[in-house]
Structure 1
Amino acid sequence: MTFNATLDSIKTYEAGRPIELVVREFGIAEDAVVKLASNENPLGASPKAIEAIIKNACNAHLYPDDSMYALKNALSKHFNIPVHSLIIGAGSDQIIEFCIHAKANTQSKVLMAGTTFAMYEIYAKMVGAEAVRTPSRTHNLQEFLEAYNTHKPDIIFLCIPNNPLGDCLDSKEVFDFLKQIDSNCLVVIDGAYQEFAKAKDSNKAICPKTLIETFSNVIYLGTFSKAYGLGGMRVGYGIANAEIIQALAKLRPPFNITTPSLAAAIAALDDKEHINASTQNNLEQMPLFERFAIEKGFKYTPSYTNFITYYFESPLDSTQIADCLLQKGMIIRNLASYGLNAIRITIGTEKQNTQFFTLFNTYLNKK
């Protein structure tokens, strides 16, 4: 059987390994497995969100409200933006796909950082567009500007903060950069980890309201999968001017968000205490990982997310490290698929982090 030729150049996205796989393959008890691979909230979902999921599960036989009226109104109040400036997706990555399909084609170029979220390139290649990457792995806006002037891309992706490395631009330099971009070029600001960035440094905070009021060609993406602890519910959102939202809405499939997911997102957004506890845990635990790296002589990217990336030099090998820890019930993210001899570790609870340090130390002492 033959398939679309564009698939030949696309690599399957490598997601973090699930707990069920470790239980199944290594016979480790489920409650003994620690997953620090997919940047999920180690505190779990808000109790209010869990209650909302249970309450709304009884309506599983009914289609959800396709207007998503309640969630859009909650987000509208949260960000002080018009309801018509919002689109909801099954995770913010679905909105990334909408952006690509709305703007790119086989003649298009899509600009992104040297190392960034893999789905930008995957979605670009799905429509036959060319992915253009900057020389630097982290976000260097001078390189972005040079590549923009050379390649004239239809779309630019800025991941702020950047996944999988953790680097983060200041909001002022982002706004200065955007002033130099033509209004017909769609700029996607991926703010999946913004809650962690602004909790650490207010200079990193991107205000969606100011962003869309200043630039007509920019869309801001947010998600409930990270700080809000709803990765399993798959809810993301895009904030942009009405023209962009109307174009993307034509690509949105009907009923793309479940009723329990909508209810959970509304409840999570309202639980300020839980979100504060989540970002505070991250701020308290991150320095432990930085000190560990310094003590062991590992390079790392100062992170404004809920994860940290360690880089290794031979003879240490990220694949061997990840596989060894996996067999001990510790799931971390190997970044070999990004062409890096590196691992990415989600910042967990104090107990989870201590277990990681213990297992990793044992591995290093045997080398």
Structure 2
Amino acid sequence: MNFNSVLDSVSSYEAGKPIELVVREFGIDPKDVVKLASNENPYGTSPKVTAKLQEIAHKAFLYPDDSFFELKDALAKKFNVQSSNLIIGSGSDQVLEFCIHAKCSKDSKVLMSKTTFAMYEIYSKHVGATILRTPSHHHVLDEFREIYQNEGADIIFLCLPNNPLGECLDKEDVYKFLDEVAKDTLVILDCAYGEYAKYKDTKKEIVASDVIAKYPNVIYLGTFSKAYALGGMRVGYGIAGEEIIKTLHKIRPPFNITTLSLASAIEALKDEEFVSECIAKNFSQMSRYEEFAKEMNITYIPSYTNFITYYLEGMSSKEVAYALLKRGMIIRDLTSYGLNAIRITIGSQEQNSKFFTIFKEVISC
């Protein structure tokens, strides 16, 4: 059977391995498996969300309110924008997919960092677009400038903070860069981990209302999957000027999030105290990973997210990740990004202590 030839160069996204797979493959008791691979919030969802789900579970047979009125209204208040500046997606990655299909074709160019979220390239290749990457793994804006000046681009992706590495640009540097971009180039600011960056350093906070007021060619992406602990519910959003949002709505399918997902996101926004507590715990535990790396003489990337990247020397990240996996510890190997490194989600205190113990066992073998 013949398929669209643009898919010939597309590799499937490699998601973090599920606990169930480790149980099946290695015969490990589920309670002994620790997953620190997909940047999920280890503290679970807000009790308000759990209570709401129990209350409305019987409504799962109903489609959601496709206007998403209540959720958009709450997000509009949170970000000081209008509901008309918002689009809801099944995760923020669905919104970036809308952007690609709205803006790009086989003659388009898409500019991104050398190492960043894999779906930028995958969605761009779906339409046959040419991928432009900077030389450096981290975001270096001078490299973006040079490529953009020489090649142009229909879309520029900035991941703030960057997944899978964890570094983050200062907002003032980002704004200066945006001043230099032509108005017909769509700039996507992926702020999936923005809540973490803002907590650690306010100089990293991208203010959505300021951005869309000044830059009509920019869209801000956010998600409920990380700080709000709703990874399993798949709710994301885009914030932009009305022209962009109206165009993206031409692509959005009806009922693209579920009734339970919609209710969960609405309730999650009502419990910002829970979110703040989770983020504070995250960085408290992050400091343990930094101290551990120094103790073990491991180079790490200072992170503005809920994960940390360790560069490994004298050992294979692929082999280390597999050895950890056999012991019930799931982390992310970054070999597919051309790096001898591993990415570890910051877990609970107990989960992190277990990682340190098992990691020491693995590298001493």
Q: TM-score, normalised by structure 2?
A: 0.99
- After superposition, the C-alpha distances for 1:92-151 in whole angstroms (9 at most, x for unaligned) are 000010000000111100000010000000000000001100011100001001111111
Report the equivalent of 2:255. Answer: 255
Q: Which residue of 2 aligns with 1:334?
A: 333
Q: For residue 181 of structure 1, what is the aligned residue in structure 2?
A: 181
Residue matched to 1:279: 279
Paired residue type of 1:251: I
| CA displacement 1:25-57 (0-9 Å, x = unmatched) | 111121211100000001011111112222222
Alignment partners' CA distance in 1, 2:323 and 2:101: 40
Q: Deviations over 1:310-364 (max 9, x none)?
A: 11123x0111111111111110001111111110000011110000000001112
CA displacement, residues 175-199 of structure 1 (integer Å, 9 cap, x when unaligned): 0110000011000000000010010
CA distance, structure 1, for counterparts of residue 121 and residue 364 of structure 2? 39
The equivalent residue for 1:8 is: 8
Structure 1 counterpart of 2:223: 223
* Counterpart in the other structure of 1:357: 356
Map of 1:110 onto structure 2: 110
Matches of 1:52 and 1:10 in 2, distance apart?
40
What amino acid is the match of 1:56?
I
> What CA RMSD, in Å, does the superposition of the two structures yield over aligned residues?
0.8
- Tell me, yes or no, if the aligned pair for 1:33 and 1:330 is still in contact at 8 Å: yes
Separation in 2 of the partners of 1:152 and 1:94? Answer: 25
CA–CA distance in structure 2, aligned partners of residues 160 and 140 of structure 1: 12
Q: Secondary structure at the match of 1:359?
A: helix
Task: Decide whether the 8 Å contact of 1:166 with 1:302 is kept in 2.
Answer: yes
The AA in structure 1 aligned to 2:352 is: N
Q: CA deviation at 1:298?
A: 1.5
- SS of aligned partner of 1:231: coil
Distance 1:53 1:240 in 2: 30
Aligned-partner SS, 1:182: coil
Amino acid in structure 1 at the alignment position of 2:118? A
Provide runs of 4+ in structure 1 moved above 6 Å. none
1:83 maps to amino acid: S
CA contact (8 A) 2:320 2:363 kept: no
Instruction: Confirm or deny: 8 A CA contact 1:336 1:342 kept in the other structure.
Output: yes
Work out whether residues 53 and 261 of structure 1, in 8 Å CA contact, stay in contact via their aligned partners in 2. Answer: no
The residue aligned with 2:345 is 346
Deviates more, 1:25-34 or 1:319-328: 25-34
2:222 aligned with 1:191: no
Amino acid at match of 2:66: D
Deviation at 1:208, TM superposition (A): 0.4
Alignment-derived partner of residue 50 in structure 1:
50
Identity of aligned residues (%): 59
Number of equivalences = 365
Report if aligned partners of 1:317, 1:341 keep a CA contact under 8 Å in 2: yes
2:163 paired with 1:163: yes
Equivalents in 2 of 1:164, 1:267: separation in Å? 29
Cα distance in 2 for residues equivalent to 1:331 and 1:188 = 31
Q: CA–CA distance in 2 between the matches of 1:256 and 1:263?
A: 14
Specify the SS of the correspondent of 1:270.
coil
Distance in 2, matches of 1:330 and 1:95, equals: 32
Unpaired runs of at least 5, structure 2:
none
Structure 1: 5+ residue runs without aligned partners? none
Equivalent residue letter for 1:333: R
Q: TM-score, normalised by structure 1?
A: 0.98
Q: Distance in 2 between matches of 1:56 and 1:104?
A: 40
Contact 1:335 1:344 in 2 (8 A): yes
TM superposition shift of 1:290: 1.1
